[in-house]
Structure 1
Amino acid sequence: MTTDRKQAMHVEAGKSFSTAEADENERRWNEEKIGRKNLDLTNHYDKTRMKLNFEIGPDGKIHPLGYQEKPLEVRLQERLDALGWKPFKSDSKIQPNCCAKFIFGGNHDRTLEMAFGNQTVSLEKNADNSHLHRCEEIEHWAKDVYDWCVRRYGQENVVGFQVHLDESSPHIHALIVPVGVRLKSGRECVMWSAKFGKDRFEYGKILKDMHTSLYEDVGSKYGLERGDSIDGRNVQHLNKREYIRKLTKEAKQAEKAVKGLQSMMRHLESKIFSYSRQLEEAGKELVSGRITLDRYEAQNADIQKLIAEYQAKLEDKADKLNEKEQELERLTNDAIKVHSVLQPFRNYKVDFTSPQITEKVPLFGTDKWVERQNRYIAKQFTEIIRKIESLYKSDAVRQVDAAQRNVLADYGEFYRLKRENQTLSEINQELESELNTLLGQLAVPSIRNMIFAVADALIGGQPVPISSGGGGNSDSDLRWDGRRSDDEDEAYRRRCLLHASRIVKSERNGYRRRR
């Protein structure tokens, strides 16, 4: 049984590039950081193989990973500044794409073979692989991928190109700035559409071309087959509206988590700043002679320890924030993609044998012989055409079924929304009636005073000053459940006023009946 040895290429649009992402790509971590990372069961960073990681620099040569003085995110910003890139306002929810984040890889066994040859590699956590050395084939492969990127995007726009050999499968991270030329000015600028298309249809075509080009230029040299391009998630089997609601809910949760993490990071940064100020003050006191050197050193050690603890927490929150931001972007993109139901037709490969003449040409009666051969060949071609026709008809049926399901889902959603609209209209009419009643009551001074007295009592949690005991008697239809845990002050006061109006109205109606 043969195993597919496919190349792999994933590209993700980036609206920003964080320090945490840069540190991970360049492995700017200490041992404590690596240990915290590996606490996540999905992570597998082998400290004994990290020395084998490498990157290809702007000179096109192989260097140790993280050899450049300027961190990756700084180099990216410098390239963006050189191109005059201007993001939207910081509070805008929509930001332009400024970079493309590539990951290149391939079949697990084949990439390990390129990296380590016949050496024994243990992929268990905390395994000792310090005996391994890096093979030249992985360097040649990385260099060819780098050259492919340079040809497509320009050497100056390949900001980072890191090769990781310390995880489960060897792979490459490439950070690239997409650059195009403005039609009016003729100047170069950051332009996602110039390299990846104006919409998802153009992007799909470009992505297919990229897979093919990468295979022809690189993959075929290393025994890697052309990768499968994916135009989007196949969600036909799900109810469209339910899927959209699910994505929306998950996106709101991710957005809430992002805001929470940002708030925690601001708090940690303020703590670090505060302790840094304390260090400065302690230094001034030492210089002025107000404290001794021993006391200063003790204070300095305590504060430095606190700063280190808060810095570790800050890094952890930054990593989590980066993950949540990526999750939020993925969910947003999925919600956009799911609105499209139709999938592209598959490309079928139909194996057939070219028709061949199987009889010798007779000396006599060649006309009948030619006619017989033509019928035979025509029959074979007809069978092939019918087979292809059947395959594409099945695909067409699939397209129609998907469209019909989508239409039915839309009709179902339309009627559901219609029912909800009717319910909301009824609720609105009830609220409008209550508002009119309240305004009418407030127009009468005696009733107005009574309503305010009841509302003040409810707000203060006191017994309601009404003879019928509408605020809490067991026989009352207007039971009061007090303040809820999610009530804001203003909302709670409005609810008290409205309930007071109902109590007064009920009391007056009861008084009329007793008369």
Structure 2
Amino acid sequence: MGNSIPHTTTVGGSGCRTSSKLGQIGCPIKTDNMAEKSWQVMHMNVMKGITTAQSNEHQRNWTERGWDFALEKGRYDRQRERLNFEVVKGGKIQEIDKRQSIPERMAESLLQRGIKDPNEGLAEPKYRTVVDFILSGSQNTIRQLAFGDQDVVYEPGNNLENATLKRMPEIEQWAKDMYWFMSERFGEENIVGCYVHLDELSPHMHLTLLPIQDGKFAFKKMFAGKDKLEFSARTKKLHDELAEVNRKWNLKRGRNISETGAKHRTTEEYRRHLSEECTNIEEQVVQHKKALSDLKVEISLAERRVKGLTSMVDNLRKAKAEKESQLSALERTLQSHQGDTATIIAERERLEKELASIQIKLEDKQDKLRTADQQLEALKRDMDAIGERTEELKGEAYKYSREIHSNVDVLLKDVMLETLVGEHSERVAEMGAAEQSVFDGSLLQSLTEQGAEVMHCATLLFLGMVNDATTFAETHGGGGSKSNLKWGKDDDEDNRAWARRCMMMASRMMRPASGKKQKR
């Protein structure tokens, strides 16, 4: 399970226009306008593992159906996917090897080194075992490294115009520099994946490593330090050292976030980070639902076992009472000197043996019943805990959404209030005393019934994440929009008009599928 800790350190800036020309490999990029600066970019995502879904995105290990989905909704270019590459041990450049996922590589590395994954066997991973770096630079500069002066179509899709594109050797050398920079600081043996993507808007590298030192996972020792101040100092130093390597590629160290108070994050980087966080939360919720389903089966079996053992214990107690009654009767007969004494004694011995056997069985079943009761209680506690954690995750998703979308939320809420006032006034003027149904299908009704969901869906639409908005709507009770019309911001459309359209579209998308109604 890949629980991502949303701590990201960033140095970079928006893309700048420059007519840069590359010299030989390893030489600085010379620009015609040196007043324009190009920034290096480094994100550090700390995670409690990495999922197969995240690995598939890094490796582009998708089925044809997956690619169709990505091309329809994502930010990828199928024609440039062949230019992606990975850096492997020894700094060797090769095509991406998709035969083994990153989680499988991680497991193999740990097995060979005799190191145990501390999250293995835990219902909820809690140890930071993976650090995923995203390395890049200002858009124009990093594109120049990747494609030189070739004409490139950067729109998402399957752009046949890019079929003859060639990968420049400069991007490979830059990737090697990044690989060796990380290897020297954190150990080459700890790198389990290093992929360079040239099929998105901005070329970038995903470098995934395990924070292992002296044969043990040691994230705090390697990265965090004793407190936030030490972590901040280490991170600043890492950016400074990276800037020395990036100097020859004309990628400079940006001012620190704590100094500028700003996040130097491009739209593409922001979109990728948001998508990864949403994906992580959704994957955790799905896994928790699967765990809850499995627990229900286990609880059902445990309850049947408890019921069966309870019946056995009751039957054995009855048999014990019956044998004890027979022994008492024999004792009375023996004491009254009635019947054959030898026969009575033999019968008494037989009953005593049977009683002893019953007692052993009874004690065994009682022990098993106590164990079964404890297991059942433990399963129920697990179910309660996972259920609570699932609700917490949903809360975290909303909290994360509110925090990371704060600027968009302000605009959307402003438009929402404006729209509500106008729409409410119009509807009130039309309705009689008993005509409350006039609100059916209105934005006011949608916000009244599903305010948080409509706002979240509208936020995703505003950011251009149509695929994520559709998935969110369909997994939160909405029927989605069946319109085939092009969706997107018009060139001459201002942000307020675009926000208003996003709110109206989100309201339609969050309506239940035909034939179903929201409960009021």
Is TM-score (shorter-chain normalized) higher than 0.5? no
For Structure 1 versus Structure 2, the TM-score category normalised by the shorter chain is 0.3 to 0.5
Structure with the bigger RCO (C-alpha within 8 Å, sep 6+) is: 2
TM-score by length of 2: 0.44
**Larger-Rg structure:** 1
